[in-house]
């Protein structure tokens, strides 16, 4: 059996490319290092993306990664005063942790690579501004939709008027001949 040198070279090149691609896939599939090291104090600031029970997913403002923050019965949730004066107590319930709220959490990492928060602080002014902006966007969309609907109705009425005018002109010229 005779081997062709070109066939052998192309096979080796194909195997090398496949090996490189498989190695790259294996490297990308390796688990990432823990975001919060176990038994190490940490502090993060970011926006709540989602919440599932006592675990809040926070997008860290510095790194842009998601960090799991565990809220326990011992977690102290404190509202900063901000620019608006609140005359109520500053301690808040865990139900105040809603998506869109920017928080600062400090605590110790646990075995699940979560930040077991001892203290969470937030400023309601920031959330109120975000809510107001979202409401303004929704109102603008509603107004634009209403304006488009009115414009469409105006075009339909103009087409109907043009059609009527064409019929009148068509019947008037036909009667005179």
Beta bridge partners of 106: 43, 119
Residues pairing with 42 in the sheet: 107
User: 3-state class of 128 per DSSP?
Assistant: helix
d(CA 76, CA 83): 22
The pLDDT assigned to 97 comes to 76
Q: What is the mean pLDDT of each run of 10 residues along the chain (177 residues)?
A: 65 80 68 67 89 89 89 86 53 69 90 90 69 68 86 90 87 56
Give the DSSP letter of residue 95: G
Give the SS3 label for residue 75.
Answer: strand
The CATH homologous superfamily for domain 41-129 is Nucleic acid-binding proteins (2.40.50.140)
Give the pLDDT confidence score for residue 80 in this predicted structure: 78
With the C-alpha atoms ordered 121, 91, 112, 37, is the resulting torsion angle positive or negative?
positive
Please tell me whether the overall predicted TM-score, pTM, comes out greater than 0.85 for this model.
Answer: no
Distance, in Å, from the CA atom of 134 to the CA atom of 150, rounded to the nearest integer, reads 24
Token pair 């109907």 is found at 160
State residue 100's pLDDT score: 79
Tokens of 29: 């599939």
- The predicted pLDDT at position 118 comes to 93
| Backbone φ and ψ of 131, nearest 5° | -65, -45
């Amino acid at each position: 059996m005779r081997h062709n040198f070109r066939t052998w070279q192309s096979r080796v090149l194909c195997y090398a490319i496949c090996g490189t691609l498989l190695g790259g896939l294996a490297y990308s599939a390796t688990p990432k290092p823990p975001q919060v090291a176990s038994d190490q104090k940490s502090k993060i600031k970011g926006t709540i993306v989602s919440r599932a029970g006592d675990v809040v997913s926070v997008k860290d403002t510095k790194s842009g990664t998601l960090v799991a923050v565990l809220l326990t019965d011992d977690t102290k949730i404190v509202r900063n005063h901000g620019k608006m004066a609140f005359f109520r107590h500053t301690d808040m319930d865990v139900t105040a942790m809603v998506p869109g709220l920017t928080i600062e959490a400090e605590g110790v990492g646990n075995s699940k690579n979560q930040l077991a928060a001892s203290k969470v602080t937030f400023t309601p002014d920031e959330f109120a501004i975000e809510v107001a902006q979202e409401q303004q966007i929704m109102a603008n969309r509603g107004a634009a939709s209403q304006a488009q609907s009115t414009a469409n109705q105006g075009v339909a009425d103009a087409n109907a008027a043009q059609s009527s005018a064409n019929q009148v002109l068509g019947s008037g010229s036909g009667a005179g001949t």
